[in-house]
Chains A and B, each alone.
Chain A
Amino acid sequence: MTDTAWETLSNQAIGVAGIFYFLALMVHLAEWASLRAPRVTREAARNDAADAGEARGGVAVATGGASSPGEVAEAAAARSRRVDFLGRLGVILTIIACAGHFVSLVGRGMAADPNRVPWGNMYEFTVSGSFFVVLMYLALYRKYALAWMAPIVTGFVVTVLMVAVIWLHSEVAPLTEALDSYWLVIHVVSAVIATGAFTLGGIASVMYLVKMRVGETSTGPMSRVPSLAVLDRTAYRVHAFAFPVWTFAVLITGPIWAHEAWSRYWNWDPKEVWAFITWVVYAAYLHARATAGWKGRNAAILAIVGLATLWFNFIGINYFSTSSQHSYAVEAPAVPGTVVEVRGAPAPPRL
């Protein structure tokens, strides 16, 4: 396949992935909407679920229903089957979308000459980042019973992909010289994985606050979200995974590469500063949980602050700061003839 063919494939695959994510989102929303059952059926289903010892936010399957009147139980069972079916369908659609997403990334890498990892500019960072969000969601789906997260994750990824395709898309281009290093693979992949995990943890923390406000309900979408304690613990575990990865990305591979490419291992570049800020906030989060016994609300707020700094750094700082050497977003267009005369210390543009 030619490079152009790969690039076309990549662009088409991302479109397909987007459509499937959207379908998955619709199915998951339908799944949640089905939960809007009359209170009595829902109660019956819940009782059965409780009998089955199911308290982890999984799909409540009403199997017996002997304690409730027959008709209600039947309706509840049918409803549960529907919810269950929609949930599975949504996950399958997400897996298909994720495969398309992956094909798109591969195509992106193969389209470049020479072939390379597909995270060389903002569009590619964003597509890779959202891919890792989905991948981690699917990987942890069973372990942490993340079914409740499905509409949020798919909604988030659809949004991010739209932003990427509409505003950030750029044609495949060779890497800028400073990026052309094997550290690109190690540094960026760890940063992107940590970003994906922090995002999932942040979603859990946001839902914690929402759930806290709404309270325990037996109907409606929020009944799908697990208990506060489970949310809190899921958030903690995902963060506890992401934080060492982030440390590796930002404080080990980042400085090593910066030393290779820019001669200073830590230069207080805006991107570095914000990565450091994110690190400090999440360190405070873990510290607060470990020592001060902060759980629940305070910890969730801290985690959300951390997520905000993370995403601001990922996208925002590229537009706010002009001096960042990490500015891969804005390709300064060569505007002939219109030049501000700069007469001062020599500071030619870096390679």
Chain B
Amino acid sequence: MTDVQERAETDPGPERRPGELGARELARWLWRQLTSMRTALILLLLLALAAVPGSVIPQSGVDALNVSRWKDQHPSLTPIYERLGLFSVYDSAWFSAIYILLMISLVGCIIPRTFHYLRTIKAPPPQAPRNLLRLPDHASYTSSDGVDDVLEQARVVLRSRGYRLRPTEARGDGAVSAERGYLREVGNLVFHVSVIFVLVGFAIGSLLGYQGGVLLLQGQQFANAGASYDDLDPGSLFGSEDFDPFLMTVDSFDIEWLTEGSAAGTARKFNAGLTYRESVDAPEQTYDLRVNHPLTIGDTDVFLIGHGYAPVITVRDGDGNITYDGPSVFLPQDPSFLSFGVIKPPAAGIGFDGFFYPTFALVDGDPVTVWPDDLEPLVSMLVYTGDLGQDDGKPQSVYALDTERADQVLQDNGQPFRLDLRLGETQTLPDGLGTVSFEGVEPWVRIQISQSPGKLIALGGVVLALIGLLGSLFIRPRRIWVRARREGDATMVEVAALDRSGGGDVGEVLASVVAELRGPPPEDAPDSPADQTDREQDDRP
């Protein structure tokens, strides 16, 4: 103990090698590095690079089905990709790391610049350099006016052009110093601060918002609560009490199929007639929900994003009792609206899966749908009996039949038995399993429901950023100096201009200032050999 104490007293500290940094110095160095322009630039390019994989690899937040399909096709790559978070790039640690570092760099850039700007905003234009003719853009001429007249006129001209002048008490060297474009830096700062606003708005949206989807049959009521959704993607801070308590019903669904032209077979004018109540005891209202015309209820937006067919099927068992009755959602597989679906009468030990053809036809012996509208509907299903996995308590997709432990119903010749029902037809199943009737077709719509809080913050941020950007790109900070001195019986005037943004047409500005200073040339005045206006900016590197 004493030994250590003694050493601490005698030794000024651990031995330092050259270049070694203490913790504070290291932190300082890291901060400097992080907030340097070069780092900001590298982080920006890194952000661009890091965004690429998300556009190539399917993203679970965008298309979960595509992700699972991809995973099935690439079993060996999947674990690696999962580890790297490549199925949700934009939530992954490494992507977040880049933009968080960028944000820190941004803040570290904004704060000192703001202070610097506040210090310089009141500062007068700097004194004129000793030799104006050394500046790349300069001009000189002689005038018959006196020095003071020339300078006074220069002040008037420059002030009328929006230049700020160096105060009178500070001059005395026979020169006018003028500067304009102070707002460029403001634009710059506004742009950078707005970027932070946008990110805050975006973060609020993804933390406090949610997005969900639900398939609604015509006439089916929807009560807005978590359990009503088919799929729900809530933000991590979104609570179940944040749902707007509305109720809605799809009363009708209209669609217009194009029958001619190159787009024949596609539809437009999708229109879902809704009735809704903003809450249980609110009055009933109606709305025509269309694409590009969402319905806003409270903080929630309701969108129409898809549609399809639900054949109404009645299943009777061998004793003639109805075991299933009603529309079943069939999912379209392609733009022809050939749809796949299943029918699972509860606890009846029988299940069906197969296709719905909106307009059925046999082409070369193949069953096809020739038109996406339901003109000649037909359902074609295979039948399964036995253990359909409905009793083991595991959650099941309503769009798939678990036939692993079930038996397929066969014909006498051993071929699978297939039900082919046109509208209104009833078919008897073999082995006394009962009958199946195809009673009708109802439309369903897919509704997307979301809350995106913070969207206005984000939008306001981007708009501000654009305004700031315009300021920082197009406001040209310029300095102009005019110096006059008496030479013999004439006044020698030198004018120089400096564009601090780089790349401005400072030569033209200079020429126009000089022209205004000199006024219209007197009729009889001979051209002075001393007149010259240099425009060298074209050759500046």
Contacts and interface: CB of A to CB of B under 8 A. Distances in A.
A174 B466 contact: no
Given A55-B539, A261-B292, A280 B47 contact: yes
Interface stretch (B62-70, B116-124, B168-176, B416-424): B62-70
A252 B198 CA distance: 11
B303 interface: yes
A154 B196 CA distance: 42
Interface in A99-117: 113
A252 B463 contact: yes
Interface residues of B, number: 97
B291 A230 contact: no
Nearest to B501: A290
Contacts of B322: none
Contact of B469 (A229, A247, A277, A320): A247
Nearest to B307: A351
B265 A334 contact: yes
A152 interface: no
Contacts of B334: 332, 334-335, 339, 349
A129 interface: no
B62 A268 contact: yes
A2 to B, nearest CB: 13
A247 B462 contact: yes
B298 interface: no
Interface stretch (B49-57, B478-486, B523-531): B49-57
A281 B539 CA distance: 28
Contacts of A347: 63-65, 331
Contacts of A334: 265, 334-336, 372
Given A268-B90, A347-B63, A247 B332 contact: no
Interface stretch (B22-30, B216-224, B431-439, B450-458): B450-458
Given A337-B366, A351-B291, A323 B62 contact: yes
B469 A177 contact: no
B473 A286 contact: yes
Nearest to B198: A251
A344 B306 contact: no
Interface in B458-490: 458-459, 462-463, 465-466, 469-470, 472-474
A351 B305 contact: yes
B305 A268 contact: no
B400 interface: yes
Interface residues of A, number: 85
A311 interface: no
A339 B48 contact: no
A318 to B, nearest CB: 12
B41 A287 contact: yes
A266 B89 CA distance: 14
A166 interface: no
Contacts of B400: 343-344
Interface stretch (A130-138, A204-212, A237-245): A237-245
B38 interface: yes
Contact of A348 (B211, B266, B331): B331
Interface in A241-263: 243-244, 247-248, 251-252, 255-256, 259-263
Most central of A56, A270, A283, A334 by chain B CB within 10 Å:
A334
Interface string B504-516: 0000000000000
A183 B293 CA distance: 12
A276 interface: yes
A244 B455 contact: no
Given A247-B466, A252-B459, A343-B397, A236 B538 contact: no
B466 A344 contact: no
B59 interface: yes
A217 interface: no
Nearest to B59: A268
Interface string B298-316: 0001011111100000000
Interface in A56-71: 56
A280 B45 contact: yes
A244 B446 CA distance: 37
Interface string A166-189: 000011111111101101000000
17 contacts: A180-B268, A251-B466, A252-B466, A255-B462, A256-B459, A260-B292, A264-B450, A268-B54, A268-B62, A277-B51, A292-B37, A334-B336, A342-B333, A346-B446, A348-B331, A349-B334, A351-B306
Given A323-B66, A343-B399, 5 more contacts: A170-B262, A177-B268, A260-B294, A323-B59, A336-B370
